[in-house]
Amino acid sequence: MKIGFIGLGIMGKPMAKNLLKNGYDLTVYDLVPAAVEEVAACGAKAAACIREAAEGMDVLMTMLPNSPQVKEVMLGAEGAAQWLQPGSVLIDMSSINPVASREIAAALAEKGVEMLDAPVSGGEPKAIDGTLAFMVGGKEAIFEAHKPLLKCMGASVTRVGEIGAGNVAKLCNQVVVAVNIAAVSEALMLGQKCGVSPEAVYQAIRGGLAGSTVMDAKAPMMLSGNFAPGFRIDLHIKDLNNVLDAAKSVDAPTPLASQVMEMMKILHHDGEGSSDHSALLKFYEKLAGEEVRA
């Protein structure tokens, strides 16, 4: 099986390396030549353009920032759609608007090319370990045929429904994560303001109903003032924008996502766009006029 892979950023690079470790024949492309060289040094073939990463491939995988980039790479003037052969499959692992996934799938279908939307949860550490969680939309038979490929990069690979369903699940995931981080920030500040150590509050509640994977990943970062990404505020704003767009199109209520989106936008304008999303705590610190620390 010949695989093309476009998008070698924080996530794409380790994911591509895990495919190589499993012996797949991989050709990689990114706008950043150094990223291509790094993955080529691990055994991939280097492509100099989209065409070289797409032409003659059985599967093309993409791991790009957002809908405009995936549309450009697939359907733009130099786009991969024109180089993919009938019977080949696009697996887009980027987190994008589900409406865009369906548009791209419809354009590819006209050329006999299938598509799965397969966004992930887990971040860079799980991309490196190959333990990401994949949420997949697309035809069941195409999903089953390509599950082993995704299993090289993920511990959990779940089909959610037809095309676009993977990105709907990812948007749901991003609402829960964003609101959870805001709640943890609010709680730690409340504890400190009431004169109780926020570290003690965290240790006391993490094993109970309030505990969560998000709390265990983010509270230690907050308590040590370490906001190195991780998952950047700007990427979460991108996801919440997609949440609000999708919600508007189906008239779904999203008061909490809207609120956290406003907090993240303020942080972006304060220069925190490249900080980890645990830096939501800084919004509370600004309101309270003091820092939360262990």
Q: Which residues of this chain interact with ligand NAD, rule CB under 6 A?
A: 6-12, 29-32, 35, 63-66, 69, 72-73, 94-95, 120-121, 123-124, 231, 235
Q: Looking at beta carbons, which residue is closest to ligand NAD? A: 9
Q: Which amino acid is at 265?
A: K
The position carrying tokens 């995988």 is 61
| Residue 226 beta carbon to ligand NAD: minimum distance, rounded to whole angstroms | 15
| Residue 201 beta carbon to ligand NAD: minimum distance, rounded to whole angstroms | 27
Task: Tell me which of 71, 126, 170, 218 is the catalytic residue.
Answer: 170
Residue 123 or 273: the one with the smaller Cβ distance to ligand NAD is 123
The DSSP annotation for 128-154 comes to HHT-EEEEEES-HHHHHHHHHHHHTTE
Query: Is the distance from CB of 167 to CB of 119 less than 8 angstroms?
Result: yes
133 forms bridges with which residues in the sheet? 121, 156
170 catalytically annotated: yes
Rounded CA separation 145/152 (Å): 14
Bridge-based pairing state of the strands 89-92 and 132-137 = unpaired
Residue 29 or 227: the one with the smaller Cβ distance to ligand NAD is 29
Residue 120 or 223: the one with the smaller Cβ distance to ligand NAD is 120
120 forms bridges with which residues in the sheet? 134
| Residue 250 beta carbon to ligand NAD: minimum distance, rounded to whole angstroms | 21
Query: Is the distance from CB of 178 to CB of 231 less than 8 angstroms?
Result: no
| Residue 212 beta carbon to ligand NAD: minimum distance, rounded to whole angstroms | 17
Residue 74 or 222: the one with the smaller Cβ distance to ligand NAD is 74
Active site residues: 170
